[in-house]
Amino acid sequence: MGGRGLKAKAPKEQSSENFVFIRRQKEKELLEHVDLLKLYNQFRHVSQWHERNERKWLHGAVQRKVDATMREYLAGTDERRER
């Protein structure tokens, strides 16, 4: 067995150009993530607005139905009193 062992490679020194390139790539990725988050938040706000208005509409529809039913009931009560 020869006395050959594995030697670890010395880390490559990054050139300043390579460092700048990697830095710009990371900044570009970060900006893309920021843009995606802005878009996600915009859709989330629109969705929440839509859900809120849907609940308001449903509440109003139920309230109108309850009011109409109460008017019919009271009208029937008044008719029975008059007899």
What is the per-residue pLDDT across 10-68, written as a single tens digit (0 to 9) for each?
556 668 888 899 999 999 999 999 999 999 999 999 999 999 999 999 999 999 999 99
Q: How far is the CA of 29 from the CAs of 26, 36, 48, in angstroms? A: 5, 11, 28
Q: Print burial letters for 24-50: b (CB count within 10 Å at least 16), e (below 16).
A: eeeeeeeeeeeeeeeeeeeeeeeeeee
Say whether pTM exceeds 0.85. no
- pLDDT, residue 14, reads 63
Higher pLDDT, 83 or 24: 24
Q: Is 55 among the domain residues?
A: yes
Q: Is 66 among the domain residues?
A: yes
DSSP state of 30: H
Output the CA torsion sign for 17, 21, 24, 30.
negative
Q: Is 59 among the domain residues?
A: yes
Count up the domains in the chain and report the number.
1
- pLDDT, residue 10, reads 57
- Residue 71's domain comprises 50-83
- pLDDT, residue 77, reads 84
Q: CA–CA separation, 72 vs 2, rounded Å?
A: 104
